């Protein structure tokens, strides 16, 4: 089944404790992206990647890192999480930069205390 898989789906952590949210897609998509969803703010892009070893900042990159060592994986790293990073995070992928549809994962709800 074609899908984007995120882990963990739910996480409660404390300020400053490094964490990684993994994202994997099995559709051989070139483009991958991370979004955060907050009430009243919609979906905001954190980072994106056009292909392996190519990453770039989105609209809200502060406090996050990403890597794209393999085509299928695009982990989101929070080196020192803070409470303002409490959010619902979505990973998404698309076949290519000019192809419209984004395929989203089911989301990872992160709470930073």
Partner 1 sequence: GENVEQHPSTLSVQEGDSAVIKCTYSDSASNYFPWYKQELGKGPQLIIDIRSNVGEKKDQRIAVTLNKTAKHFSLHITETQPEDSAVYFCAASKQGGADGLTFGKGTHLIIQP
Q: Which residues bind partner 1 (CB under 8 A)?
A: 4, 31, 33, 35, 40-45, 48, 50, 59, 90, 92, 94, 96-102, 104-107
Can you tell me the distance from the alpha carbon of 29 to that of 95, in angstroms, rounded to the nearest whole number?
4
Task: Choose between 44 and 65: whose C-beta lies nearer to partner 1.
Answer: 44
Q: How far lies 3's CA from each of 26, 94, 100, in Å?
A: 6, 11, 17
Nearer to partner 1, 39 or 82 (CB): 39
Q: Which is nearer to partner 1, 15 or 107 (CB)?
A: 107
What span, in angstroms and rounded, lies between the C-alpha atoms of 2 and 44? 24
């Amino acid at each position: 089944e074609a899908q984007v898989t995120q882990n963990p789906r739910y996480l409660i952590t404390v300020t400053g404790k490094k964490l990684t949210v993994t994202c994997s897609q099995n559709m051989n998509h070139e483009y991958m992206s991370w979004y955060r969803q907050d009430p009243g703010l919609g979906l905001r892009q954190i980072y994106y990647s056009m292909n392996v070893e190519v990453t770039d900042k989105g609209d809200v990159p502060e406090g996050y890192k990403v890597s794209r060592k393999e085509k299928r994986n695009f982990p989101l790293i929070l080196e020192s999480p803070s409470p303002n990073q409490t959010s619902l995070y979505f990973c998404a992928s698309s076949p290519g930069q000019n192809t419209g549809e984004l395929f989203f994962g089911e989301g990872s709800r992160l709470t930073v205390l």
